[in-house]
A and B are shown apart, each in its own frame.
Chain A
Amino acid sequence: MPRQEYQESLSNLRDDVLYMSEVVAERLRLGLDALEQKDREIAEEVVGGDDEINQMYLDLESECVNLIALQQPVASDLRFIAASFKIITDLERIGDLAVNLAQYAMDADRDVFPEVDVQQIGVETLDMLESAMAAYANDDPEACYAVAERDDDLDAMCEAASSTVVRDLIEHDPFGDDDADAEAYLQDISRLLLTIRDLERIGDHAVNIAARALYMIEDDAELLY
């Protein structure tokens, strides 16, 4: 095949984006573990690893720019590079959100609202991320649509979880006479609501990735907002 070096660069870009997504997925998994186990060590690993993800993002960004500048990609090659360029931004943001989860884990010292299953929501977002990246890796348009469809369920789960927390806040007077207790309780609740919101956003980024993958595969912008 002619343009050997160019073809290799394209293939490397795909491998590098997939590698970045594996690292990001692993960080998300660790962030969820940290939350579940209140494990400071795991949480610190996620927080400390963010620089690595940011550097991967910057490296991949210049990989894309170099390909565009030096190789003048067209047609499916161009769509692949344009989609990759956008997908790495979503991956980097998911990395940031995983760091948020780890920080919530470090701040928390007790469980509130055991009936709100953060882990269930977290596993769903992780699976959406992995499915979206599989759609990108395998040029699978059906899988792109499937990820987008799951987002409604995820949003419903997040909304239900938030409602549970807020309703409880309204219906019961959680504040005793002890101001320190009330303060701690409010912080716990804020953290939980932020956790739910961040997980919902991870789902949105997974949908963005699926949308860019669909554009890449079929020149179809349907899932882009």
Chain B
Amino acid sequence: MSQNSTNKQNRNERAERDESADPTADGMDIQTDVSGSVAASAGGSPTRETVVSAKHISVWYGDDQALSDITMDIPERSVTAMVGPSGCGKSTFLRCINRMNDLIDSARVEGDLYLRGKNVYDDDVDPVALRRRVGMVFQKPNPFPKSIYDNVTYGLKIQDKGGDYDEIVEESLKRAALWDEVKDQLGESGLELSGGQQQRLCIARAIAPDPEVLLMDEPASALDPVATSQIEDLIEELAEDYTVVIVTHNMQQAARISDQTAVFLTGGELVEFDDTQKIFENPESQRVEDYITGKFG
């Protein structure tokens, strides 16, 4: 059995344990209002508590609608993959979760998006505070032109967060599977690392403030196969502790590492959201079938 399957299986077994340990932890209670056009929660796998819950989210850039009435629940401590053709709105949806769309003047968001039950679009929510709880990793590794150490502590310093920085740096770099490679050069610039190392540094930077959700927008698309598999292994490990939502153009990557897959198609429509195995073995929707088998377009 592959490492990936083992990790997925571990996550499922843990979720089952959690479920049996706490009979009140019934995810269905949280999955209210699924009146959207598709089943909003992925079926089949053990019930996990919902962390991110989108209710009728639509997004416009000026007059162009990028997302159309998205309703879905993302379960905790798992990997949820967003796939679909370019321009289908998957990255837009990702940016709704930490309100990165606020930074785009022409963007307009309608609907509600709950993080652990709290609507992140409520007036009393500070987007900066929100982004501490929802970390993000981008397509191109973008370390700051600072030392490795300062890259990891950057978020903590902005937040004036106390604590033992040395310990947090070590812990974050270990979790990002980078510690062994850089522990003797923490004072050197992050930009001197290889592409794969830079991306793992960015992941360490994203997890240092201990977020609840980790958003990844094509985190491995600029990396070679070896660096890609390191990032994929890392994502699987991170899902032990974090809720990971990843946008990817690489179908096989989604199939390898995710527990749930959401398929967005042209027009910003969420066409199907289900267990990854179901999506890749026998999707309900013919349009999804056509897309993932390559007959689309």
Residues of chain A at the chain B interface (Cβ within 8 Å) = 1-3, 6-7, 72-79, 219
Chain B residues near A6 (CB, 8 Å)? 294
A75/B281 in contact, CB under 8 A: yes
Looking at the assembled complex, report how far the CB atom of B250 sits from the nearest CB atom of chain A, in whole angstroms.
10
Chain B residue at minimum C-beta to C-beta distance from A78: B281
A73/B293 in contact, CB under 8 A: yes
A76/B289 in contact, CB under 8 A: yes
- New contact pairs (8) apart from A2-B297, A219-B282, CB-CB < 8 Å: A6-B294, A74-B255, A74-B292, A74-B293, A75-B282, A75-B293, A77-B293, A79-B282
Chain B residues near A76 (CB, 8 Å)? 282, 289, 293
Looking at the assembled complex, report how far the CB atom of B216 sits from the nearest CB atom of chain A, in whole angstroms.
21
CA–CA, A74 and B252, complex, Å? 9
A2/B295 in contact, CB under 8 A: yes
Interface members, chain B 243-297 (any A CB < 8 Å): 251-252, 255, 280-283, 289, 292-297
- Counting residue pairs across A and B whose Cβ atoms lie within 8 Å, the total is 35
Residues of chain B at the chain A interface (Cβ within 8 Å) = 251-252, 255, 280-283, 289, 292-297
B251/A72 in contact, CB under 8 A: yes
CA–CA, A168 and B297, complex, Å? 69
Chain B residues near A74 (CB, 8 Å)? 251, 255, 280-281, 292-293
Chain A residue at minimum C-beta to C-beta distance from B293: A77
Chain B residue at minimum C-beta to C-beta distance from A1: B295
Task: Report 15 cross-chain contacts, Cβ distance below 8 Å, ordered by A residue.
Answer: A1-B295, A2-B297, A3-B295, A6-B294, A72-B251, A72-B252, A74-B292, A75-B280, A75-B281, A75-B283, A75-B289, A75-B292, A76-B293, A77-B293, A78-B280
Looking at the assembled complex, report how far the CB atom of A11 sits from the nearest CB atom of chain B, in whole angstroms.
12
